[in-house]
Structure 1
Amino acid sequence: MKNVLLITILLISNICFSQLKSVIIDSKTKEKIPYVNIWVENENIGTTSNEKGEFELEVNKTKIILFSAIGFETKRISSDSIKNILELKPVITELDEIVIKSKNSTNKLIIGKFKKSKIDFYFSCGTKPWITARYFKYKEEYEKTIFINKIKVLTKSKVKDSKFNIRLYNINNEGEPEGYIYDENIIATAKKGKKNTEIDITELNIEFPKKGFFIAIEWLIIEDNKYEYKYTITGSKKKHDGISYEPYIGTIPAESDENSWIFTKGKWRKIWKNKSPSKKYKEKYNLMAIELTLSN
């Protein structure tokens, strides 16, 4: 009887949980696609494909899985249809017309200035591949320094050289990030500790869109970013194993949520109010600490 019960439990366990394991490739070139954002739709479960396009994800029951990567159509597919190879279809992104202008970088303008020493609250993803976006509105004064040269982000990392992805989005009619102004990954590296991480994109010749644009930080659930630690629960001395994926991204307090969005559970959502006891951040909205250097 005990053996029958054990077999029944094992069968139920196998039915309820399945381990998805696949390699994601370009349907046209058949090349492997790294750093694909993978979500269980409407749930806080997800992962990222590694540099070889490989991923593993455990799901219970049959779910809709969402795959998102720059330069490819977003794919939604039932988990029971995922095989050893999964293909994403490349898209031709309709970028704004590029007008070649002479660049001499004699004029520079810095916007979104922040002080590292004044920031003590951060966004972190835990074990989920979040994307957090900040909107930058266009102003007439930017016309003389129209090119985006550098992006500076406040990062804090417990591991050496953690990686994160930068996505540059247009804005849709609902005010959400949608469509890219640059259709490739911009992989940045955060040094260990609390640092101002600077990404130089001068050579990309990206102009500040007249409608404004979003800078989005995408966490990568990959082995290089993994940080393992021990923790205890209040009232207990027992130590538990914890995992986080670095880096943390610094934030500044804002009065409104209009410029902050988070992509989680497969959807874009407005940022929520901070409930931290910190007087500086309590009942405010977290806005990513991002500084831009513009030039002519």
Structure 2
Amino acid sequence: MKKILILFLIFSSFSYSQKTSFEGKVFDKQTKQPLTYCNIGIINKNLGTLSNVKGEFVIDLTKISTSDTIIFSYLGYKSLNIKLNDLINRKDSIFLKSNSMVLNEVTLESYNFSKKMTLGFEFRHPRVSFFFYDFKSGSEVCRYFKNDKTILVEKLIFQVNENELKNLKLRVNFYDVVNGKPNEKLNIEDIYIETKHHQGRLKFNLKDNNIILDSDFFISLEAIDVKGNGEFLFGGEWYGVSSEGGKTYSRKSSFAKWTDEWTIDNSNLKQKVPHSIGIRLITRINTK
């Protein structure tokens, strides 16, 4: 009996170690509806993923320790932290609770957004590009904006120098600033934009999203649904060349560390230098 038990334990351990991925689904706990594009990852590690339109997700187990904590985060819901070992041993479904905090509805009648103001730039050097080598769902790039007024964001404009992807869906996030870096999201709802353009100047209307900001902030573009393979190159310029330049950070997956280094391609010269991604915001200032 002792020999049989030992063999069983060895076999179980071997089977567990051979598992290279975990597949699951994430739902709203109350409505049981799937949560689309839920952020899933490990804090400060370039390991993460997003759920798809059906709430389905796959976690690569080959680079994760069983003691690591997986985070499930979705705007308007309470985040769920769970040890990988516990996640593997439970059923495949994850349920998130809606955040009970009631957000004050933004009423534009309380403001007078009459004066137009432009923040940032689109791009200055067509031969300078900022790009991800492995642009995939969860990759994110953000740019700092200094702001001392109460503004309403109307339009988002950025330059694509090259796009080898078939289709790209992005989520637009706004973050507050702590110690010069992006911190907590300021959005009260998700904002999605989509492009099939290979290159050129892209403009998106955000007026109906009622984004009101009254201090310094970061705006980010997060890859949500990437179809095809290849590079996606943003236009921009070196940080500090212009007074309009704003520090840019990036990360390869949800909850990874933000990094302020980027690879710049300028006449085939590639090096890591401070940079600014070319983003312009058309806003209106509150004059009340």
Same fold judged by TM-score > 0.5? Answer: yes
TM range (shorter): 0.7 to 0.9
Structure 1 residue 20, shift from structure 2 partner: 1.0
1:133 aligns with 2:139: no
Which of 271, 278, 282 does residue 289 from structure 1 map onto? 278
**Partners in 2 of 1:249 and 1:88 — Cα distance?**
35
Instruction: Report which stretch shifted further, 159-168 or 96-105.
Output: 96-105
Shift of 1:105: 7.0
- What is the alpha-carbon distance in structure 2 between the residues aligned to residue 247 and residue 65 of structure 1? 29
Are the equivalent residues in 1 in contact too, given 2:47–2:256 (CA < 8 A)? no
Q: How many residues align?
A: 264
Contact 1:44 1:128 in 2 (8 A): no
The Cα shift of 1:32 comes to 1.0
Contact 1:34 1:49 in 2 (8 A): yes
User: Aligned to 2:184, what secondary structure does the other structure show?
Assistant: strand
Structure 2 unpaired stretches of 5+? 1-9
Displacement of 1:93 in angstroms is 6.2
Whether contact under 8 Å (1:17, 1:58) holds in the other structure is: no
Choose which of 25, 28, 36 in structure 2 pairs with 1:26.
Answer: 28
Residues 1:217 and 2:255 aligned together: no
Q: CA deviation at 1:86?
A: 0.6
**Structural mapping, 1:46-195, within 5 Å:** 46-60=48-62, 61-62=65-66, 63-82=68-87, 83-91=91-99, 98=106, 100-101=108-109, 107-115=115-123, 118-124=126-132, 125-127=134-136, 129-139=138-148, 146-155=151-160, 156-172=162-178, 174-195=179-200
Q: % of aligned pairs identical?
A: 22
Q: Deviations over 1:200-227 (max 9, x none)?
A: 1111222232x2211111112x4xx232
Partner of 2:6: none
Measure, in 2, the Cα distance between the counterparts of 1:275 and 1:288.
Answer: 11
Contact 1:133 1:214 (C-alpha < 8 Å) held by counterparts = yes
2:221 partner amino acid: I
Q: Which moved more, 1:44-53 or 1:13-22?
A: 13-22
- Contact map agreement 1:166 1:186 (CA 8 A) in 2: yes
Displacement after TM superposition at 1:291 (Å):
0.6
Q: Secondary structure at the match of 2:17?
A: helix
Alpha-carbon distance, 1:286 to partner? 2.6
Q: Deviations over 1:219-250 (max 9, x none)?
A: 12x4xx2324xxxxxxxxxxxxxxx5x74433
1:278 and 1:199, CA in 2 relative to 1: closer, same or farther beyond 3 A?
A: same
